C-alpha cells in the first residue's frame, strides 16, 4: 500500500505544481453535469445565470476580496453553461467549429468580498457576421448589486457559416438587436486596435 501511496502523492503534487488542476476538474464537472442532468433548453436571447462563491482560492493579496483575474476565469464556466443551455455548442460542434474568445473588457464597480455568494448573468446582446457579443454581470445575492460588468467577443472559427446562420438555426426568425451605445464604442475600439497592430506587423 505504502509503495503506491507515496508515488501517487508525488504525482498529484507535481500536477498541482505544473497545472491549475482545480480549473480542469471544474471544467470537467461543469460539462459533465450538463450532459448527465439536462435542463430545459433556453432561448438564445434569454439571460442565463450560474452561481458561484468567493473562496480563499479567489482572493488577492489583501485576502479580503476576489482577485481581478478570477473574474475573467469565472466567465469560462458562464460561457460553457450558456452555450450548452441555448444549443449553440451543439450547432457549432456538429460542424467541426468552435468559439474563440478574442476580446474581453471588465468594468469593476465594487469589490467581491470573500465568502460571498454571487451569480453571473450572461446574455447575447449583439452579433455580426463573424462574432457574437455577450454581456456578463457579476451580481451579489445578498444585495442584488452588480459588482462588475463584462463585454466579451466570441468569434466562430472553423465554420463555413456566419454567426447569423448559427443563430437562425437555433432560433429561426430571431431579429438582431441594435447594438447598445457602449458596445458600439467597444467594437470600434477593437477595430482600431486591430488596425494599429496590423500596421506594426
CA atoms within 13 A on the CB side of 175: 2
pLDDT digit string (tens) for 143-196? Answer: 999 999 999 999 988 888 888 889 999 988 888 999 999 999 999 999 999 999
- Provide mean pLDDT across the span 46-68: 94
Average pLDDT along the chain: 90
Domain ranges within the chain, ordered by starting residue: 39-200
pLDDT digit string (tens) for 166-176? Answer: 999 998 888 89
CA distances from 44 to 8, 50, 170, 193, 201 (A): 44, 15, 7, 29, 37
Structural fold of domain 39-200: Thiol Ester Dehydrase; Chain A (3.10.129)
- Provide mean pLDDT across the span 59-71: 93
CA distances from 90 to 11, 56, 84, 158, 198 (A): 35, 35, 7, 14, 34
Looking at the chain, the whole-number percentage of residues with pLDDT higher than 70 is: 97
pLDDT at residue 2 is higher than 60: no
Instruction: Check: CB of residue 26 under 8 Å from CB of residue 20.
Output: no
pLDDT band for 1, please (50, 70, 90 cuts).
low
Its pTM surpasses 0.85: yes
pLDDT digit string (tens) for 76-112? Answer: 999 999 999 999 988 888 888 888 899 999 999 999 9
Distance between CA atoms of residues 198 and 201, nearest Å = 5
Pick from 65, 58, 68: nearest CA to 113:
65
Amino acid at each position: 500500500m505504502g509503495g503506491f501511496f507515496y508515488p501517487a502523492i508525488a504525482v498529484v503534487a507535481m500536477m498541482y505544481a505544473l497545472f491549475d488542476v482545480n480549473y480542469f476538474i471544474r471544467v470537467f464537472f461543469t460539462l459533465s453535469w450538463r450532459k448527465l442532468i439536462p435542463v430545459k433548453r433556453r432561448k438564445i436571447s434569454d439571460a442565463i445565470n450560474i452561481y458561484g462563491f468567493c473562496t480563499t482560492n479567489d482572493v488577492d493579496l489583501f485576502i479580503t476580496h476576489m482577485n481581478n483575474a478570477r473574474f475573467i476565469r469565472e466567465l469560462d464556466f458562464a460561457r460553457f453553461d450558456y452555450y450548452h443551455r441555448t444549443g449553440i455548442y451543439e450547432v457549432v460542434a456538429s460542424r467541426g467549429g468552435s468559439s474563440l474568445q478574442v476580446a474581453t473588457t471588465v468594468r469593476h464597480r465594487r469589490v467581491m468580498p470573500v465568502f460571498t455568494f454571487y451569480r453571473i448573468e450572461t446574455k447575447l446582446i449583439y452579433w455580426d457576421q463573424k462574432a457574437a457579443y455577450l454581456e456578463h454581470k457579476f451580481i451579489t445575492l445578498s444585495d442584488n448589486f452588480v459588482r462588475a460588468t463584462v463585454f466579451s467577443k466570441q468569434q466562430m472559427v472553423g465554420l463555413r457559416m456566419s454567426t447569423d446562420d448559427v443563430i437562425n438555426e437555433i432560433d429561426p426568425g430571431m431579429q438582431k438587436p441594435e447594438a447598445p451605445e457602449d458596445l458600439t464604442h467597444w467594437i470600434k475600439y477593437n477595430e482600431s486596435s486591430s488596425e494599429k497592430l496590423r500596421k506594426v506587423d
